[in-house]
């Protein structure tokens, strides 16, 4: 079975935006400084540079591209950043400042053709200018995905690519500065979910307090607040600014889930996962031994927990709670021990909360608990469910091609082999970047492949400029659950 999918860069860029940013962070692909293509014009050349400040002392000379005046590596929502620069006009060997010209500060991370305007300024009589950039949260319609892959720096920051730009006029050619990579740090809540007890008896109710603080540690109310207990929406009672509580229904013997969803203008929307543990109690001493099958895992791995409990009581489950390094509940469940007290429990590391760092496993049985830790890192997973074989470039007849031609569709085709004993649904993703690291296209198609079978998905890209391009190929479970099913694959395309 063969897929055919043609994507033009401009017409579908809005669909490429969300995945471009998710891929860039989740797969930790660095973005380098970029420069716009030069425009062939017959009028006077110009050059715009950032990081140049007019000297306060007229007798001293200015330093071109002084690092102390360049864009900072990190900016935060709500602050004002002054960005200095100078616009030059170049006539032969003569270079001078261009006066009374409008210049712009733009962000081109998602799209060069549709940049985000951050600030404007007008040059003085020597070509100097200063942008007053008031940093705001990325608009949803511009970024596409506001909350990104949790951890790996992405939930705390969003990458921007900043340029100075002069549009030119009837006498002067347009120009752009070199690019700067800047990390945008959005405002975030500190959310604390606190049950009044650690373990509850079956039939009890829990009082749960939820508080919100701003980055300065001050209590603050969200604009919208939703709380779910075991997937059922529950209405909290407000105690004071930034402080709420709710009472649960009578608790059954299990780990009960709590989800808090909070949003506020200029703040990152937060989803916090917590839990309440209820179990039966015995008057006799209970011992628990709980072991993991290894100490370190990779994202995509299957984690197996084994152990035994003494005494083993019929129809009483062993309860498991797994928290990621951010303290969020990642997984919870239960397993009933056998007559001799042994048990086994499994879960898979995947999705947006499967982040690197030190994790905690809590095992509970009859009001007794034991905790153990394990590491999730960048190690290879124990198995990859899909093998990507023979990635190549093809024409519209699926015949291999060596080099690409301008305006002619180039197909990126791979053979995907299912190494599991069951059918797998998947998403095949292709990302094309130019020699400067700018993402030109991200496209994907969904499909499924039977056990031991293979398929050849093909995604087409139409190059608009000659040069060398890199193609990254990914196979994920889905866009909503970006769990890798294969190791990333890279090929190159030369367009003439």
Residue 453 in tokens = 């079978």
Distance CA 478, CA 8 (A): 22
Question: Which CATH number does 281-382 carry?
Answer: 2.60.40.1930
Question: Which CATH number does 188-279 carry?
Answer: 2.60.40.1930
215, 107 Cβ separation under 8 angstroms: no
**Residue 226: which of 191, 255, 252 has the closest Cα?**
191
Under CATH, what is the fold of the domain 31-185? Immunoglobulin-like (2.60.40)
Q: Which helix (H) or strand (E) holds 166?
A: strand 158-166
Question: Which CATH number does 386-495 carry?
Answer: 2.60.40.10
**Per-position pLDDT tens, the chain of length 496:** 434 333 333 334 444 444 554 444 444 333 333 344 444 446 899 999 999 998 766 555 455 556 677 788 888 888 899 999 999 999 988 999 999 999 999 998 766 677 889 999 999 999 999 999 999 876 533 323 333 333 223 344 577 889 999 999 999 999 999 888 888 877 888 999 999 999 999 999 999 999 999 988 999 999 999 999 998 999 999 999 999 999 999 999 999 999 999 988 878 778 899 999 999 988 888 999 999 999 889 877 889 999 999 999 989 999 999 999 988 999 999 999 999 999 999 998 877 678 889 999 999 999 999 999 999 986 555 556 788 988 999 988 888 888 888 888 899 999 999 877 778 889 899 988 888 878 888 888 888 998 889 999 999 988 888 899 999 898 888 776 667 788 788 899 999 8
Q: What is the pLDDT of residue 276?
A: 97
Q: What is the pLDDT of residue 66?
A: 64
The CATH 2.60.40.10 domain(s) of the chain lie at 31-185, 386-495
How is the beta sheet containing 190-195 ordered, strand by strand? Answer: 190-195, 207-213, 243-247, 237-240
Residues whose CB is less than 8 angstroms from the CB of residue 39 and which lie 6 or more positions away in sequence, other chains included: 168, 173, 174
**Residue 294: which of 237, 349, 220 has the closest Cα?**
349
Q: How many helices (H) and strands (E) does the chain have?
A: 2, 35
Could you tell me the CA-to-CA distances from 50 to 64, 93, 98, 158, 195 in Å, in that order?
9, 21, 14, 22, 52
The CATH 2.60.40.1930 domain(s) of the chain lie at 188-279, 281-382
């Amino acid at each position: 079975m063969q897929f055919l999918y043609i994507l033009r860069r401009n017409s579908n860029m809005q669909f490429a935006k969300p995945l471009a940013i998710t891929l860039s962070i989740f797969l930790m692909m660095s973005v380098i400084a970029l420069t716009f293509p030069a425009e062939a014009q017959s009028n006077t050349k110009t050059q715009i540079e950032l990081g140049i400040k007019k000297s306060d002392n007229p007798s001293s000379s200015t330093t071109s591209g002084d690092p102390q005046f360049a864009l900072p590596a990190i900016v935060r929502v709500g602050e004002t950043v002054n960005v200095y620069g100078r616009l030059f006009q170049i006539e032969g060997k003569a270079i001078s400042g261009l006066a009374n010209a409008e210049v712009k500060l733009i962000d081109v991370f998602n799209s060069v053709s549709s940049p985000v305007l951050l600030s404007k300024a007008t040059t003085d009589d020597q070509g100097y200018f200063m942008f007053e950039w008031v940093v705001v949260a990325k608009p949803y319609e511009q970024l596409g995905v506001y909350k990104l892959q949790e951890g790996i720096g992405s939930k705390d920051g969003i990458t921007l690519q900043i340029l100075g730009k002069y549009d030119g006029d009837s006498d002067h050619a347009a120009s752009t500065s070199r690019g700067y990579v800047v990390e945008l740090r959005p405002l975030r809540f500190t959310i604390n979910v606190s049950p009044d007890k650690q373990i509850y008896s079956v039939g009890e109710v829990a009082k749960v307090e939820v508080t919100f603080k701003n980055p300065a540690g001050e209590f603050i109310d969200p604009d919208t607040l939703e709380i779910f207990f075991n997937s059922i929406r529950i209405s909290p009672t407000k105690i004071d600014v930034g402080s709420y509580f709710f009472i649960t229904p009578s608790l059954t013997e299990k780990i009960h889930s709590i989800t808090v969803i909070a949003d506020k203008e200029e703040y990152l929307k937060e989803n916090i996962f917590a839990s309440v543990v209820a179990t039966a109690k015995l008057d006799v001493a209970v011992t628990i031994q709980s072991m993991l099958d290894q100490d370190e895992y990779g994202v995509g791995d299957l984690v197996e927990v084994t152990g035994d409990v003494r005494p083993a009581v019929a129809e009483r489950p062993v309860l498991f709670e797994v928290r990621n390094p951010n303290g969020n509940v990642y997984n919870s469940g239960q397993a009933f021990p056998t007559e001799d007290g042994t048990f086994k429990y499994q879960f898979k590391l995947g999705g947006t909360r499967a982040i690197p760092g030190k994790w905690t496993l809590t095992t509970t049985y009859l009001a007794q608990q034991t905790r153990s830790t394990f590491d999730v890192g960048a190690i290879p997973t124990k198995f990859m469910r899909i093998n990507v074989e023979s990635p190549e470039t093809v024409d519209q007849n699926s015949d291999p091609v060596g080099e690409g031609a301008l305006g002619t569709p180039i197909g990126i085709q791979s053979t995907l082999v299912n190494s599991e004993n069951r059918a797998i649904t998947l998403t095949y993703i292709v990302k094309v970047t130019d020699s400067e690291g700018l993402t030109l296209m991200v496209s994907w198609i969904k499909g499924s492949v039977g056990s031991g079978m293979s398929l050849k998905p093909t995604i087409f890209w139409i190059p608009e400029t000659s040069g060398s391009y890199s193609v990254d190929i990914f196979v994920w479970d889905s866009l909503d659950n970006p769990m890798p099913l294969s190791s990333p694959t890279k090929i190159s395309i030369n367009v003439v």
